[in-house]
Amino acid sequence: MTAGICHHASMAIKDQVILITGGARGIGLETAKALAAKGARLALTDLDAPALADAVAAIGAERCEGIVADVCDLSAMEAAVATTLERFGRIDTVLANAGIASYGSVMAIDPAAFQRTIDINVVGVFNTARASVPALAESKGYLLVVSSLAAFAAAPGLAAYNASKAGVEHFANALRLEVAHQGIAVGTAHMSWIDTPLVQDAKSDLPAFEEMLSKLPPPLNRTTGVEACVKAFVKGVDKRSRHVYCPGWVRGAGLARNVINSAVGTLPVLKLVPDLLPRMDAEVRALGRSTSARIVANDERVAAGKS
């Protein structure tokens, strides 16, 4: 029945209004540009007002609305949905893309950074869904939740990110069951390491992290270009896909997650931990922060705005 609803409700991208959280840079922005090139009208939310203004200018203000909003604030997301509806009259697709990463082992990470990662990556997706589901019910729309390969394969030093991405995958699974009868399709996107600001920041900040990536068994050690991810996202929106994988081998990792996380499957990573994890934690301590400088600056900007 669900598949029938999705097929019946499918709409060409050129006719859609699409809301993207975390739309000012990285995958969110590049996907927005690709969707706009196909004729979609866009509403982008982000915390970074200057970057958001640049994103709207790049796409064109005639078909793109920029909304400064914190996904951690439900009322802000409800206001973002209301602004989108006021501007464009409908919402057909929502891409719950906003997310951050944090650094350090469970015993070394700043607890506030762990909490912030969960707040943005999990609670932010809840707030996005809570605010947008009524509009999606009207349009028989599609919600794509950005999870990760990290939902299938854990990495030492990234427990907060791993937990958040596994959490939003299962959140989407539950939401899908709740809204299918309203004609809403729900998908999850799972990407490996993509050459985005998030991954670039981690590599730049933490040489031990970059070394760990290089020593993971292939294909887990490969970084994929943003273009391939955008192509997968656009196809996912077009097909209202239940799952989006980038690269395609990530699907196999999802199917094999119990093997990857088994005693045998974790042996290659366990061999790296005694050397690399203490070095990564030392690098985090030297930085004086458990996330990227860009994210710290964004948070400070938001805090200043609220004071």
Catalytic residue IDs: 161
76: left (phi over 0), alpha (psi -120 to 50) or beta: alpha
Tell me the pairing of strands 193-194 and 223-224. parallel
CB neighbours of residue 173 within 10 Å: 13
Write b or e for each residue in 188-224: b if 16 or more Cβ atoms lie within 10 A of its Cβ, otherwise e. Answer: bbbbbbbbbbbbebbbebbebbeebbeebeeebeeeb
Rounded to the nearest 10 degrees, how much is the dihedral formed by the CA atoms of 213, 219, 220, 224?
Answer: 80
In contact, 105 and 156? CB cutoff 8 Å: yes
Calpha distance 303→57 (Å, rounded): 26
In contact, 260 and 173? CB cutoff 8 Å: no
Helix (H, G, I), strand (E, B) or coil at 45: strand
Calpha distance 101→240 (Å, rounded): 27
Cα separation values, 2 from 14, 66, 138, 182, 183, Å: 24, 33, 16, 10, 8
- What is the DSSP-derived secondary structure letter of residue 217? P
